[in-house]
Amino acid sequence: MLESIRTFRALGSDCTLRVWAEDDASGSLMVDDAIHLLDGLDRKWSRFRPDSELSELNRGAGMPVAVSSETCALVLLAIDAWRSTDGLFDPTILGALVAAGYDRTFDEIGTTEQAGRLDQDSLRPSPGLDGVVVDEENLMVTLPDNVSLDFGGIGKGRCADLVLERLLAGGAVGACVDLGGDVSVGGSSPQGEGWVVAVDDPFHPGGDLALITLSSGAVTTSSRLRRQWSTVDGPAHHLLDPATGQPAKGGLAAVTVVAADAAWGEVHAKAALIAGPFDGVFLLAQAGLSGLLVQDDGTVLTAGSIDDYLINSSGVSL
């Protein structure tokens, strides 16, 4: 058995694929196929591509728009996640994100000293997904007028899940898919005792908060400190409270969730961070998920059975 490792840039994030295969040639071909799949999904779901399915769907608000089966399934998943989190996860937040200055890729924002001025008048509560109509049989989606979607984290998590599925279906003995901190694992690891996933310390870049081990499933992290930018009105970040349209200030710097899949873990990590420390712990427990919630002072709260997954949490007050 040989391990093939590929690191690359995609979805505005640093990505790594690790594939455990019978030989190096087959492993390399599987990685090539997985990257091709990832590029295709990004072409469907990126709000920064004017020709993506998502952009076409947003432009067509008020009328039925034909979509692919993958996009239709993602819209349905987003609706389920919105309901599961009582609206704390809400992909209709796009208008407020643009108003907050997240109007281009983060790579572009990162090269600019200031992203612009916060449009306070447009930082409004999100409309929610109640009015979205999905015709699953005919692959048609209708958004209400003046509603637009941003798949963001749920899209990245779903990409990680679909890439992992493709790798395992293609013959990989095991695989680890890391898309900018959304990690999906399955099959046998090179160590043979489960996959070890490092959780970034939000206050010490390059350092580990903890090590998590699991045989299959996903580890996802949502961080208020990861995607920040400057505006003429001061610092801003991408985690907005759908109830207000304003940047979340709930007292949490980051939330890491262990879940069966990365898409579900992503939305609940974000929802818990917006909810705040104690409501966030309750939200994860209600969803049957485990996690680590890092407060603004660096202390860490735990949710669910996270202790069963932890290998090392040195230096962390749990």
CATH of the domain at 124: 1.10.3980.10
Quote the pLDDT of residue 42: 96
Average pLDDT over residues 115-127: 63
- Of residues 89, 203, 73, 235, the one with CA closest to residue 153: 89
Considering 104-118, 123-137, 269-283, the range whose residues carry the highest mean pLDDT is: 269-283
In a domain, 125, yes or no: yes
In a domain, 33, yes or no: no
Question: Do 215 and 195 form a contact (C-beta atoms < 8 A)?
Answer: yes
Quick check: 284 pLDDT over 70? yes
Cα distances from 219 to residues 18, 85, 229, in angstroms, run 15, 18, 25
The reply to whether 117 falls in a domain is yes
d(CA 262, CA 209): 19
> Tell me, what's the pLDDT at 113?
46
Specify the pLDDT at position 222: 94
Per-residue model confidence (pLDDT) at position 139? 99
Domain membership of residue 85 as a residue range = 46-151
Specify the number of domains making up the chain: 1
pLDDT of residue 103: 52
Q: Does some domain include residue 191?
A: no
Average pLDDT, the chain: 88
CA 54, CA 43: separation in Å to the nearest integer?
9
In-domain check, residue 50: yes
Average pLDDT over residues 94-117: 57
- Token reading at 50: 């004017």
Of all residues in the chain, what percent carry a pLDDT higher than 70?
85
pLDDT at 317: 46
